[in-house]
Structure 1
Amino acid sequence: MSALEAVLIALAVLALLGVIFEEVIHINKAKVTLFFGTLSWILLFLASGSEGETAAISTGLSESIAEIAGLWLFLVAAMTFVAYLNKKGMIENLIYLIMPKQVSERKLLFLTGLFCFIFSSLADNITATLVSCSLILSLDLDLKKRLQFVTLVVFAVNSGGVSLITGDVTTLMIFLADKVEILTLLTLAIPASITVFVLAVFLSRGLTGIVTLRSTRNEIRPVDAVISGLFLLTILGTISGNALFGVPPVLTFLFGLSVMFLVSRFMSDDSDLDPILEYIRIIEFETLLFFLGILLLVGMLKEIHALDSLVAIYDVLPPLYANYLMGIFSAVIDNVPLTAALLKAGITMSPGEWMGLTYAVGVGGSLLLIGSAAGIVAMSKIPGLTFGAYMRYLAHLLVAYTLGYAGVFMLGRFIN
């Protein structure tokens, strides 16, 4: 290993540590990864010894930028839809529409898990967690019961996202790499939903009270109802368009976004006070910049062939066991860089085995509170939710994750 490669790997490790200890150093992970990601490529160019080497580095950077651009554009379109619907109160209305006004704590736990599972398939994990945390905080629950609810929320949000490319970034990344088909991904919802139910059974012990929901429904305007329907149609169009005609998902979602702009222009009378284009500016660009920095780092590691060692576990263990371990690793190592590294490493697996990896890295982060964006958001919003408090339910979470992975394995055998 050359001195340059050692320095670049050290920069990647520092970036990863910055992500893990974000709450300790109080520096946003997007700033950390973007700094180290861009710095590492600059060092590669500065250390280039010939025109041919510079050209090869430039080609590698162009490939990374092209992959990042596709991911960014898709996320911008999807997150703009969600930002609009959330601001207009449509998501809050949905909660109070499907939830009864008075319900037992046990039944509410199951309904919350079901809502998180479905909603996180359509929206991003962060929004789904924020909405669910708002619901939990509105309830008059003691700390122990609140922790039971939020533990299910984190697991259900991560489980719901794995079966749709709109629900989880790692699922989207694996799909865009042509490792799984969009209709095949939908079958992941079967074992994922079953394990959410199993975990809810585990966590429902001690929930014997009755709670009353405080309904605060917002007025529904025609334009908001139409845009809600358009969002669902865009998701269905993305799935069917790709499955039947091979239309790239990013193209369908950008088309849906353009229709959303036109609908708002012709149906809404508040274009001056609340211009629709403003919703692009309020989406979570910190999340997008984090992905940018991470993917730049992973692209650099591929360029210096540092990812070859990551494949070593697949040389020692069959994909069945290696993928399961990757899911556990994703509870410590952020699943986005982990997935990006595995995709760049050139691992060869069957479609069923790629499904196993999709589930593992999507749900495995639920094992620890710091292992997923849902857990970190919940920790920042729910008083009393600490790393140690969440660890009390590790055994339940591990059982649910293992059962889900076993179910995906059985599905994979059928698909293969």
Structure 2
Amino acid sequence: MSTLTVFIVAVFCIGYLCIALESVTKVNKAAIALLMCVGCWTLLMVAPGAYYPELPADSVVHHISEVIEHHLGDAAGTLFFLMGAMTIVEIVDSNGGFNFVRDTLKTSSKRKLLWRMAFMTFFLSAILDNLTTSIVMVMVLRKLVQNREERLIYAALIIISANSGGAFSPIGDVTTIMLWIKGVVTTQGVLTEIFVPSLVSMVIPAVILSFSLKGRFDKSQNLPKSEVSQFSKTQRNIIFWLGVGGLMFVPVFKTLTHLPPFMGILLVLGVLWTVTEVFHYNTAEDDTMAKRVSDLLSRIDLSTIMFFLGILMAVAVLQEVQVLAAMGTGLTEAFSGNYYLINGIIGVLSSIVDNVPLVAGCMHMYPVSEVAGDAMAVDGIFWQLLAYCAGVGGSMLIIGSAAGVVVMGLEKITFGWYLKRITWIVFVGYLAGIGCYWLEKALLF
């Protein structure tokens, strides 16, 4: 490894460490990711010819410009998909589309609420995304459970269910979205082969946590009330089904048209935007301005988008200097090609460091095989396990996933409490899911 490559890796590792310690440094991880991205590419330009010895010296700079545009195009597909999906969810939520969630979860039994919340979160995160679903479910939880100790148990289960639900859907988790857009997993593949392992990874922790909850809630608890909306119930239902149904339609749109997934998201956003504008037409101007899509766009978390941009482009530098390929070869040789063990370790690592750059790195570490049925082929064991392990493994620590971080902030859950009470439970479910996937491959697929 050359000295310049060592410097590039050092900048990436320092940036990665600062991102992991965001709660300590108080510096937004998006800012660090952008600095890391520019720093790595700048170092590459110090001696670009060293990495492209086959090219004439006068064409290396032009080649790198083309390489950057290529990587930026790949990243943009993921970013536009996320921005569109986030906007759709914001439209549905701000116009009362999720009121049915509150009504569905109402019960006086503590264990019934646990199971309803677990399954509702699991399936919603597969349709929406685990971050948004976690926010919606925690807001509902606050109105249903007053006891703080009990609410923390429910909140922990929300994190587990959201991450497990996002793992089996091509649009449920950022890491699965990345793998799906890259084309290494297909909609049918993840739905049929990852669903049961993901379900097991949620059900087992739910069973264990259910022993901590007994009895019924006090009758005086604050039950949810429907939010005031300028739209009728029928209009809210139309908005909900257009938004959620549209997100479910995106994989179908990709299959039918062979267009990139973000085009399907833009189609759904355009339809939903048009419908809400029509609904707002006959309402008072003062009541509707704050909830029009043009105003809701300001609520989109652009810092998250910038973080993904910085991370994806920084990982691209490691690909260009052949670091990722070397790491992939090293892991394969160290574990004798045991993809269950390799992905199991990657899943544990995803609870310590952000799973987005981890998966982005794995996508560049291993080449896609053209041999049908091979572990590295499309929908092969390696890629499907990567989708499962990176998604579910992030639940082991509360800082290991976007869902965990947001719930940690909303409910003020401490790192120590989660590590002591929840981590081992998640690990049991995580291993059970991997075992379930192994049985599927041995007996069914």
Give TM-score, length-normalised by structure 1.
0.93
**Where in structure 2 are the equivalents of 1:6-405 lying within 5 Å?**
6-49=6-49, 50-91=57-98, 93-100=99-106, 102-187=107-192, 188-211=194-217, 212-218=221-227, 219=229, 220-221=231-232, 222-269=234-281, 273-274=289-290, 275-311=292-328, 312-317=330-335, 318-348=338-368, 349-350=376-377, 351-353=379-381, 354-383=383-412, 385-392=413-420, 393-405=422-434
Distance in 2 (alpha carbons) for counterparts of 1:197 and 1:171: 21
Whether contact under 8 Å (1:331, 1:365) holds in the other structure is yes
DSSP 3-state at the match of 2:184: coil
Distance in 1 (alpha carbons) for counterparts of 2:384 and 2:48: 39
**One-letter code of the match for 2:305?**
L
Distance in 2 (alpha carbons) for counterparts of 1:323 and 1:287: 26
**One-letter code of the match for 1:371?**
G
Query: Which residue number corresponds to residue 52 of structure 2?
Result: none
**One-letter code of the match for 2:73?**
A
Q: Deviation at 1:126? A: 1.9
**One-letter code of the match for 2:18?**
G
Q: Deviation at 1:374? A: 1.0
Q: Deviations over 1:248-282 (max 9, x none)?
A: 32111111111122212223225772432222221
Distance in 2 (alpha carbons) for counterparts of 1:21 and 1:177: 29
DSSP 3-state at the match of 1:371: coil
Q: Deviation at 1:138? A: 2.8
Q: Deviation at 1:391? A: 1.0
Q: Deviation at 1:244? A: 4.6
Distance in 1 (alpha carbons) for counterparts of 2:245 and 2:428: 36
**One-letter code of the match for 2:113?**
L
Q: Deviation at 1:414? A: 6.1
* CA shift in 2, pair 1:19/1:415, >3 Å: farther
Q: Deviations over 1:60-98 (max 9, x none)?
A: 21121011110111111111011112222322x122221
**One-letter code of the match for 1:242?**
K
Q: Paired residues, what number?
A: 413
Distance in 2 (alpha carbons) for counterparts of 1:176 and 1:239: 10
Structure 1: gaps of 5 or more residues: none
Whether contact under 8 Å (1:44, 1:57) holds in the other structure is no
**One-letter code of the match for 2:275?**
V
Distance in 1 (alpha carbons) for counterparts of 2:248 and 2:146: 38
Distance in 1 (alpha carbons) for counterparts of 2:300 and 2:29: 17
Q: In terms of mean alpha carbon deviation, does 299-308 or 21-30 score higher?
A: 299-308
Distance in 2 (alpha carbons) for counterparts of 1:228 and 1:38: 40
DSSP 3-state at the match of 1:90: coil
Using the aligned pairs only, state the percent identity. Answer: 29
* CA shift in 2, pair 1:126/1:394, >3 Å: same
Distance in 2 (alpha carbons) for counterparts of 1:352 and 1:410: 15
Q: Deviation at 1:21? A: 0.5
Whether contact under 8 Å (1:356, 1:412) holds in the other structure is no
Distance in 1 (alpha carbons) for counterparts of 2:134 and 2:25: 24
CA RMSD between the two structures: 2.0
Distance in 2 (alpha carbons) for counterparts of 1:401 and 1:33: 29
DSSP 3-state at the match of 1:210: coil
DSSP 3-state at the match of 2:108: strand
Distance in 2 (alpha carbons) for counterparts of 1:202 and 1:268: 47
Whether contact under 8 Å (2:201, 2:426) holds in the other structure is no
Whether contact under 8 Å (2:128, 2:247) holds in the other structure is no
Whether contact under 8 Å (2:15, 2:32) holds in the other structure is yes
Q: Deviation at 1:213? A: 5.0
Distance in 2 (alpha carbons) for counterparts of 1:193 and 1:203: 15
Distance in 1 (alpha carbons) for counterparts of 2:441 and 2:274: 42
Q: Deviation at 1:339? A: 0.3
Whether contact under 8 Å (2:134, 2:407) holds in the other structure is yes
Distance in 1 (alpha carbons) for counterparts of 2:347 and 2:24: 24
**One-letter code of the match for 1:200?**
A
* CA shift in 2, pair 1:79/1:415, >3 Å: farther
